[in-house]
Amino acid sequence: MGAIVGGIILFVLGAISRFALEFDLPGVDSAMLGTILMAAGAVLFLVGLLLALRSRRTVVDTQRAPGRTVSERRDPPAGT
């Protein structure tokens, strides 16, 4: 979840730097810095999203007995 939030923060800071701020530092273009931060934020957001979706796999075991059903949800064993 931290990568998703970090990506959003980087993207927002990059958008602010690109579109709302105008600063003069020797050797630094504010528009290019904003574009780089937005691209890095987008990549970080997508990586975090892929990792979060990948880790949501679960294994469901269902056992039925007369009069009741028991379902167990758990994470798969490591390495599968």
pLDDT digits (tens, 9 = 90+) for 16-52: 999 998 888 898 888 899 999 999 999 999 999 988 8
The Cβ-side half-sphere exposure at 19, using a 13 Å CA radius, reads 7
For residue 60, is pLDDT > 80? no
Q: What is the pTM of this model?
A: 0.66
Tokens of 31: 């528009």
Other beta carbons within 10 Å of 38: 20
